[in-house]
Amino acid sequence: MSKKIQAPLATIKPHTLEKHKDIRIDNYYWLNDRENSEVIDYLNKENEYYNEMTADTKAFQTELFEEMKARIKEDDQSVPYLYNGYYYITRFEKGQDYPIYSRKKGNLEAIEEILFDCNEMAKDQTYFQLGGLSVSPDNKLAIFSSDVVGRRIYTIQIKNLETNEILSDKIENTSGSAVWANDNFTIFYSTQNEVTLRSDKIFKHKLGSKSSEDVLVYFEKDETYNVDIAKSKSKKYLAIESGSTLTTEYQILEADNPDGKFRMFQKRVRGLEYSINHYGDSFYIMTNKDEAENFKLMKTLETSTSKENWTEVIAHREDVLLEDIEIFKDYLVVEERENGLHKIRIMPWSGKGEYYLPFDSETYSAATGANVDFDTEILRYGYQSLTTPSSVIDFNMKTKTKEIKKEQEVLGGKFDKNNYIEKRIWATANDGTKIPISMIHQVGVKLDGSNPLLQYAYGSYGYSMDCTFSTTRLSLLDRGFVFAIAHIRGGEDLGRPWYEDGKLLKKKNTFSDFVDCSKYLISEKYTSAEHLYAEGGSAGGLLMGAVINMAPELYNGIIAQVPFVDVITTMLDDSIPLTTGEYDEWGNPNKKKYYDYMKSYSPYDNIIAQKYPNMLVTTGLHDSQVQYWEPAKWVAKLRTLKTDNNLLYLNTNMDAGHGGASGRFESLKEVAKEFSFLLDLEGIKR
């Protein structure tokens, strides 16, 4: 890469920010106006700089793209599932970027009905995303939603599946999901605040009416909560969920009575989390009630749903996290996590002969799949590991036999799982906590410190980083890279306490855990500082920003995708989407103790004059989760303060949002950009 090209410098326009008598000067605050032509001009100049500086890697990017694309079965389809008399299928056609949704009545030999061809729907759009689909109980109509900007603002419409006609009903500014009442005529949906994008209202719509006539069913006034509506698997109840980081509340209504009034299931109590599943004459409740930090399962009659009536079914366990349940006519299936590993527990309602599905790896992921049928002995679940392609498995809970319905194909004839080693190792954090690291590399890799290694993590919102298979990752592994997932605190990998120990006033544990994992990988000679790379996105981008301020000398390169890096300014601006709902995750900086703590780690506020690693920073102009101006400001400030000549790129997708480009192949081009950045730093040209 040529380094003679002049990097763009954003104009300095000092802006004073004051809170708690503390003054911060933000020289790039002006970048937060996407309607300002000067802002767009700056972003375009950064893109031009990136393109010019990486011009000599364009052919390699194309090669990587074609290589990754060649591993994907283009004419692929999902395993069909049976629901209400129809088999539903999602498939792709060769050369097409988007899925086709279809169904077959009664059996798989029946004539295919095309429900939605997203390739046709995406024509003339620079971005397209199909939202939630919901077929009416009589199978004649389907609710669908679409987003053509990437800001996760969906328009709901209804299609007549018998005539293929799109009805006149059109509902703007929704979250994308909607459900049918049992009358095939009434739908319920959620809308978003136009400024904050908080999902705050539930409406009722009658077919053929104008959306302006829709009835407001519920308005969530608390700005820290979001609302959604769903239908029980039993099809008996509609349920409105109001949820914040720490608290949930449900209201229920019989789906046969759409014009009735929703009634409270259990009124919100701060710190009480619960979710509900209906079965027979009862509800089953996953909850943290009575200090059940890792959650327990309780039960109550549908006629008396308040918490004083709940009785225990599965007790709380300090070493096992209860993650989810699936209810069948004769079985209760429980998803658990113990020592960072998934477990699936089969519990007959008869109370006799419960058991766990056997898994023998330490770097796998297993989860229940599309189990929409209530009266069946078949449990569908997915399994994969770092070396094992994703499989869809039908398991007979009575006979304990299984059928692999599909294993992800890796085309090209070169992939053999026996050519790779997967393992789990444990690093020790600075406070003595053991941090698991899952990794994969080629057989024969020598631990001499010379290996390039990509370390990945997220570490927020209790989101666990599971070990999943990736065909794209093979392009790094086959060129000598080691790939490692650091299961740091802030996720829920080792149970709910793992999450609690990495949020609010303990957030810095997330960052120090990642750094300590890096130090361990170097000390064990999996890599060295000259060959260690780190990657994270969104809140994982915050992680990247924090660790390069803390220990920039450990990393040769950093990839920060849509990074959340201007923590205080964002969390003080309640007009920004998602801000108020996240006070329980990050803290409310309107309170001084949280302000001071945030300021001590916020990447943007802690940039100093020092050497920083080579960096590729990506964002989307229409991002609704992390506004584009955070990475833009961060890069602008880094340019003026860093004391090295290392690479610093800002690449903005001017047509996309938080998830990047839409379409399965367009997204591969973004991966190719990232991989070429890493490989070029290693001097690997092909």
Contacts of 568 by beta carbon, 8 Å cutoff, 6+ apart: 19, 24, 589, 595, 598, 599, 602, 605
Q: What count of other Cβ atoms lies within 10 Å of the Cβ of residue 413?
A: 6
- In tens, the pLDDT along 504-555 reads 999 999 999 999 999 999 999 999 999 999 999 999 999 999 999 999 999 9
Buried b (16+ CB within 10 A) or exposed e, 46-78: bbebbeebbeebeebbebbbebbbebbeeebeb
Read off the tokens for 98: 């988007």
For position 661, what pLDDT does the model report? 54
d(CA 3, CA 408): 42
Selected catalytic residue, list 466, 487, 658, 676: 658
Q: What is the DSSP letter of 182?
A: T
d(CA 343, CA 326): 13
pTM of the model: 0.88
Least Cα distance to 299 among 282, 318, 321, 316 occurs for 282
For position 95, what pLDDT does the model report? 85
306 is catalytic: no
For position 624, what pLDDT does the model report? 61
Residue 104: what are its φ and ψ, rounded to 5°? -135, 135
For position 150, what pLDDT does the model report? 74
15 is catalytic: no
Q: Residue 538: which region, alpha, beta or left (left: phi > 0; alpha: psi -120 to 50)?
A: left
Least Cα distance to 385 among 427, 341, 444 occurs for 341
Per the CB < 8 A criterion, the answer to whether 543 and 564 are in contact is no
Selected catalytic residue, list 623, 624, 676, 680: 623
Selected catalytic residue, list 190, 470, 538, 602: 538
Say how far residue 304 (Cα) sits from the centre of its chain.
35
d(CA 298, CA 306): 12
d(CA 145, CA 518): 43
- In tens, the pLDDT along 321-341 reads 999 999 999 999 999 999 999
For position 610, what pLDDT does the model report? 98
Read off the tokens for 89: 């299928």
538 is catalytic: yes
- In tens, the pLDDT along 390-435 reads 999 999 999 999 999 999 999 988 999 999 999 999 999 999 999 9
Q: What is the DSSP letter of 631?
A: H
For position 385, what pLDDT does the model report? 96
- Count the alpha carbons within 13 Å of 232 in the hemisphere toward its beta carbon: 27
Please tell me whether residue 388 adopts helix, strand or coil conformation.
Answer: coil
Beta strands in 293-433 (DSSP E): 296-301, 311-314, 320-327, 331-338, 341-348, 355-356, 364-368, 378-385, 391-396, 401-407, 420-428
Which residues partner with 620 through β-bridges? 653
Q: What count of other Cβ atoms lies within 10 Å of the Cβ of residue 32?
A: 21
Which residues partner with 114 through β-bridges? 102
For position 128, what pLDDT does the model report? 87
Read off the tokens for 279: 């079965």
Which residues partner with 112 through β-bridges? 104
Which residues partner with 203 through β-bridges? 189, 216
Residues of the chain with pLDDT under 50: 1-2, 660
**Long-range residue pairs from 499-504, CB within 8 A, at least 24 positions apart, any chain:** 499/461, 499/462, 500/293, 501/433, 502/459, 502/460, 503/460, 503/585, 503/586, 504/584, 504/585, 504/586, 504/587, 504/594
For position 2, what pLDDT does the model report? 45
